[in-house]
Amino acid sequence: MKRIGLIVFAGLIILVLAVSFNHQDEANATIAWTNEYRPGMGVDATNLTDALQELNPDALKADKPQNSAVVTITTPAVVVAEPDNPSNNADTKNTQTKKESNSKPLVVAEANNSSASKAPVSTPTPSRAASGSSSGVLATAKKYMGVRYVYGGESPSGFDCSGFTQYVFDKSGVDLPRTASDQASVGVKVSRSELAPGDLVFFHTGGSSSINHVGIYAGSNQFIHASRTKGITLTSMDDSYYKNILSTSRRVAR
């Protein structure tokens, strides 16, 4: 029985070894086959990628994703002038100068539009008459010093008060109404403290409340007028007769 057991055990060992050698031979055969060239192709299986590249170069490219890291860069169509080419630099500068010159008229147009949008400034009406001057009025008035008083007179042969002022201002290019009350509505009103040579001064004489006498302020607190008793004369604004009967003052000459 012991010998039979040994024989069985030895048989099992032989069987195991036989099976192991069989698998090893199959593996070696497989490796040997894959390392050989395939009939009719002449391609080494270990360099399969190179073989496919030789047979069909586009085959591997088709398998690559579109966003491949390998990118073909083409030269831009725009040609930049090289630094050592002065003619190209000059052309570039000329082009820039033309662009700048073409843009200037637009700026001018905007400036013109902004000025046109502004409303015209109106010229204020002068406080004095458009023609005539205070110095001219006084110079003319003093020429007739001593001329006699004539009621209704309006010439150097004789004046009344309003005829005298109308005549003098007319010589200076200023038209005045004929009567003292009408002349009091011409020009602008000024206070006694604002009186200047050439201004008209109006009085209400003889106890009347209405304006009935006119003269021309001559400066130095005096006025020139046609007096009933003295003719054309200078009188102080503080004269006892005229001091308290001043009605108004008007400015009609420059």
The residues that are catalytic are 161, 213, 225
SS (H, E, C) 92-124: HHHHHHHHHHHHHHHHHHHHHHHHHHCCCCCCC
pLDDT given at position 13: 77
Of 179, 156, 181, which Cα lies nearest the Cα of 167? 156
- Quick one: average pLDDT of 194-201? 97
pLDDT given at position 14: 78
Question: Is 156's pLDDT higher than 70?
Answer: yes
Strand order in the sheet with 222-227: 188-189, 246-251, 200-203, 213-219, 222-227, 231-236
> Between residues 116 and 152, which one has the greater pLDDT?
152
Q: Considering the chain, what is the average pLDDT of its residues?
A: 72
pLDDT given at position 55: 52
pLDDT in tens, 110-151: 434 444 344 444 433 333 433 468 889 999 999 999 999 999
Highest mean pLDDT among 34-48, 79-93, 240-254: 240-254
Per-residue pLDDT band for 243 (boundaries 50, 70, 90) equals very high
- Quick one: average pLDDT of 79-89? 45
Architecture of the structural domain at 134-251 = Alpha-Beta Complex (3.90)
Domain positions in the chain are 134-251
